[in-house]
Structure formats: structure tokens, C-alpha cells
Structure 1
Amino acid sequence: MTDRTPIIVCGIDDSPNARAALEEAVRLAARRGGRVRALLVYEPPEMWGAWAYGPTAGIPLPRLEMYHQSERHAALEIVDPVLDGLRDELVPLPEIEVDAIAGRPVEALVEAAEGADALVVGHRGLGAVESVMVGSTSLGCVLHATCPVTVVPAPVPV
């Protein structure tokens, strides 16, 4: 047995589902004496043309480091309110690493979760037909991750 700190990877975005997933990831890390790696995955500007819009030779792209820092700042703005809501419940809070990574969500989260103890993602609740037609990050993570995956359902309005 090793003394390695458990790592819980959590995919985040600015949705109620992702915030619920982050809450679950933080609670899971607290129970296991671990830490959380909260990741916002974004499509890098150099891939906009290649993934969706065709050639982009005439379109000026933002400086990549500035773009990454902007996405990382957005990730921090998502995480901070969630942690504020958990401070009274979980003392002390587990260590939280927040970052933004470029890529497609499923591939980026599955790669980031290699060697992790768990991957936590939110579920948008599209339903079976829409999930098949649109694609599903949570389903892709369940199918491809090498660690246990927790899919957190959308919070129920009170």
C-alpha cells in the first residue's frame, strides 16, 4: 500500500450541472483524504477552423497564452463560489487545483484522469435520443476513462 494522495478529476463549465459535479468531487476528495483537479476544457482558437468552420487563414487568432489565461480565470470564477458554499460543511476543504486545458472535452478529461482515483462529470439531462444525436461528454467519459467515473445529475429545483 502506498501513501499517495487520492486525486479526483472533475470536468467543469459554467452550468448548474457542472457546479453540482464539482461539489460532489470536493466531498469525495474530503472523504478520501484526497485532492481535486478541476478542469475547464475549451476549444483552442487554432482549432476553430479545423473542427467547425473550414479554413481560417484570413481570420486573426488571439494570442494563445492570453486565451488560455482567460479560460483559466473563467475556471476560477466557477470554482470559487462552489468552494465558498462548502466551507462550513467541509473543514478543512481538500486541496483544489484549478486549470483550463485545450481540447475536446471527452478526450481531454479522459487523458487528465489517467492515473486518477476518480473522474466526476455533470450530466446535462438531454435524454437518450438527444444524447445519441448530440453526443455526450458524460457517456464518453464513462466509456473511455480508465478510472471510476461518477456522473452527477442536474440539481433538482427546490
Structure 2
Amino acid sequence: MSEPAPTRTGDVAVGVDGSDGSRAALAWAMDEAARRGVAVHAITAYAGPDVWSTAEGLVPDARVLHDAAQREVAAAVEEVSAARRERGLAVPEVRTEVAMGPASTVLLHHARGASVLVVGHRGRGGLASRFIGSVGLSAVIHADCTVVVVRD
């Protein structure tokens, strides 16, 4: 798999992981991109294959994991885009990026050059929902652009 280009300068980068929080973040990112007249760069990270084997002696294939992550981000983009079209809203250009690695590392690397980085809030209820998640916190601390954390 080749090294993809980081976000184009000025675009809105958003982390997408299939959660409700990331769909809310994607919707916010599309609103912001449409307002600014720029594209959305939807970024998904996935974990590499574990070094283990099944009873049949199979090791998960990295390409299968990559393709599954690509399908997941494409489905999220289509779902949020369809909702925008139903409301009569413009759908900005959306580029998707899928990369293997820790979510915070992948997101920060591929969001370089963005005008804003959008992440979903993954509250887990009760006291835990009052705190930002580890990916969101990493983005707030290390991103070289404005970071928006969206609640679903």
C-alpha cells in the first residue's frame, strides 16, 4: 500500500471509525466544508493483523482489513451525504483515506495541512462521558490546526 498524501491545505479533516460520534463529526465536517467551499478528508485507521493463527493455521490478511475499513468509511460518507441531500443541502467533495496504525497517529499524520480537524466524542456514559477520549485528547494536544470535538 502506497503512502497517501496528507490533507490538502485548507480542507476539513475528520476521523471516521463507524461510531455514531464519528458520523456526527462527519456531518459537522461536511457543514463546515460547504460553508468554507473546501473538501472533506475523511480519515479511517485500522489495526494491523494480530500475530496469531486460528485452529486452521490462518493469519488475517492486511488487505482484507484495509478493504473492510474502506467499505466502512465509504458507507459512513454515503449515509451522511444522503441525509444532506434529503435536507436539500450541498454535499462537498469528500476524499477518503484508510491507513493501518493507531487511530491518533494516523489521524494526526493525514490531517496535516487541514484548516480544522474534527473528531467525534465517544462518551461511555456516566462520569466517563464527561471526559474526552484518547484520540480526541491526542488531537487537541498535538494537531497543528483547530480541533473540534463533536458530541453525537
> Do the aligned partners of 1:6 and 1:32 also contact (CA within 8 Å) in 2?
no
Give, in angstroms, the shift of residue 127 of structure 1.
7.2
Match of 1:82 among 67, 80, 83: 80
Number of residues paired by the alignment?
142
C-alpha distance after superposition, 1:30-74 (max 9, x if no partner)? 0110000111211111xx34xxxxxx3786323322321121012
Residue 61 of structure 2 is aligned to residue 66 of structure 1 = no
Q: Secondary structure at the match of 1:65?
A: helix
C-alpha distance after superposition, 1:102-137 (max 9, x if no partner)? 111111101111111111000012479648x99511
The residue identity in structure 1 corresponding to 2:89 is L
Q: Which residue of 2 aligns with 1:28?
A: 32
* Alpha-carbon separation, structure 2, partners of 1:89 and 1:125: 30
* Alpha-carbon separation, structure 1, partners of 2:64 and 2:105: 23
- Could you say what the CA RMSD is over the residues aligned between the two structures, in angstroms? 2.7
Q: Output the TM-score relative to the length of structure 2.
A: 0.81
> Do the aligned partners of 1:5 and 1:33 also contact (CA within 8 Å) in 2?
no
* Alpha-carbon separation, structure 2, partners of 1:82 and 1:115: 24
The residue identity in structure 2 corresponding to 1:78 is A
Q: Output the TM-score relative to the length of structure 1.
A: 0.78
* Alpha-carbon separation, structure 2, partners of 1:118 and 1:89: 24
Q: Which residue of 1 aligns with 2:22?
A: 18
* Alpha-carbon separation, structure 2, partners of 1:107 and 1:98: 17
* Alpha-carbon separation, structure 2, partners of 1:5 and 1:112: 11
Percent same amino acid among aligned pairs? Answer: 36
> Do the aligned partners of 1:5 and 1:34 also contact (CA within 8 Å) in 2?
no
Give, in angstroms, the shift of residue 85 of structure 1.
0.3
Q: Which residue of 1 aligns with 2:141?
A: 143
